[in-house]
Amino acid sequence: MLLLGLLSLLGTVSAGAINDFTCRSTTHPNPVVLLHGLGATWYEDLNYLQAFLAASDFCTFASTYGAYDAFPFLGGLKPINDSAAEIASYIRTVANETGASKIDLVGHSEGGFQTLYVPKFEAGIADLLDTLVAIAPPTHGTTFAGLYDLAYVLGNVSRTLVGEALDILGCPACNDLGPDGPAVLRLNDGDPIVQSGNRLTVIASTDDELVTPTQTAFVDETGVRNEYVQATCPLDPVGHIGEAYDLNVWNLVLNALEDTPEREFVCVLGSPGK
């Protein structure tokens, strides 16, 4: 019902479309690839945001990454490196099929992390990308609301054991994205995260209960726009999951994609979405 109501307010999708390689937009020539979060899929997480952007005349594309063949209903579980290779392949496919010279990338949670990780480590991908928007990325690792603090009860030895357990249980990405996780350490290796020619906006919520502390989402590099939802919409109590479904967040994403950060919009109350 939310999607139907939204589309009725925005009007009929014209040039914009969802997962349609024939789509071309004169107002937004860069196709947008959206990356879901941990445990989600392309059709459950950023699907409403994808429809919002399509209705705003963007050509949008999404695919589930990091899912095991025997259980395709939960994506993003595989090691970050493995998922990054899948995502890079999909970006190349979108570029080849649409003929676009540049792609924009929008990700939520783990997808936000991949929005930073893929252009840095997958050869040639940064050259295909233009605007990057990372929603609630665990850029510097997350304590998962303090849960990971327990992993250090016995120091680094217990953290290693927790990581090995997560790998065995089928969620290497959970290990990768925790404090001192392999992918987190690699991303923050001292070299710039944002690659030449790419423009990054990071969107976070002060009420995010999973990417904690919340400021760890931000990328402290010249030219990066780091913003809390509440800086624009102070009454929005949106939580981590809710950031994918929040109209205020969608408008901030739209501002980033259109490079109109000062564009004003009417804030809604939002939902904690925890």
Strands 59-62 and 17-18: parallel
On whether the CB atoms of residues 238 and 272 are closer than 8 A, the answer is yes
| pLDDT tens digit at each of 274 positions of the chain | 344 444 444 444 445 899 999 999 999 999 999 999 998 999 999 999 999 999 999 999 999 999 998 888 889 999 999 999 999 999 999 999 999 999 999 999 999 999 999 999 999 999 999 999 999 999 998 765 554 444 433 344 333 434 444 454 458 888 898 888 899 999 999 999 999 999 999 999 999 988 988 999 999 999 999 999 999 999 999 999 999 999 999 999 999 999 999 999 999 987 766 5
Dist. CA 254–CA 263, nearest whole Å: 10
Which domains occur in the chain, in start order?
2-141+193-257 (3.40.50.1820)
Dist. CA 236–CA 239, nearest whole Å: 9
- Output DSSP code: residue 10: H
Which H or E run contains 252? helix 247-257
Of 43, 19, 48, 40, nearest to 31 (Cα)?
Answer: 19
Angle between helices 47-55 and 2-10 (to 10 degrees): 10
* Cα separations in angstroms, 118 against 19, 127, 132, 262: 21, 11, 11, 28
What is the torsional sign of CA 10, 13, 19, 21? negative
